[in-house]
Amino acid sequence: MSHGSNKNSNCRRIDADDILPEYDFSHARPNKYASRYAAGSVVVVLDPDVAAAFPDPGQANDALRSLAGIISRHQSVRTAARRKPSRA
């Protein structure tokens, strides 16, 4: 029984690190925001309804800084209230 030519004889084995031919990066551009991320920024994705409340990133940062201040003051008050006075 004769086997005809194998359909897959033209296909080479693809390693995990190989880029598949169907991926075309010829029109790719560098990420214009990459320098911001490399500078130590933390990216947080807001839900659309939350993001709609802030017209720009500066206002979102200001609001979060205010909230962080309130949280830290509240936590320090709670921590001080939990401490038991030491008896001598």
In a domain, 1, yes or no: no
Instruction: Please give the pLDDT value at position 32.
Output: 87
Tell me the H-state helices in 1-88: 34-38, 48-51, 57-82
In a domain, 54, yes or no: yes
| Domain count along the chain | 1
In a domain, 87, yes or no: no
Please say whether the beta carbons of 43 and 37 come within 8 A: yes
Instruction: Please give the pLDDT value at position 31.
Output: 87
**What domain range is 37 assigned to?**
11-82
How far is Cα 35 from Cα 18, in angstroms, rounded to an integer?
A: 27
> Is-above-0.75 flag for pTM?
no
Which ranges of the chain have pLDDT less than 70? 1-12, 78-88
In a domain, 28, yes or no: yes
In a domain, 2, yes or no: no
In a domain, 49, yes or no: yes
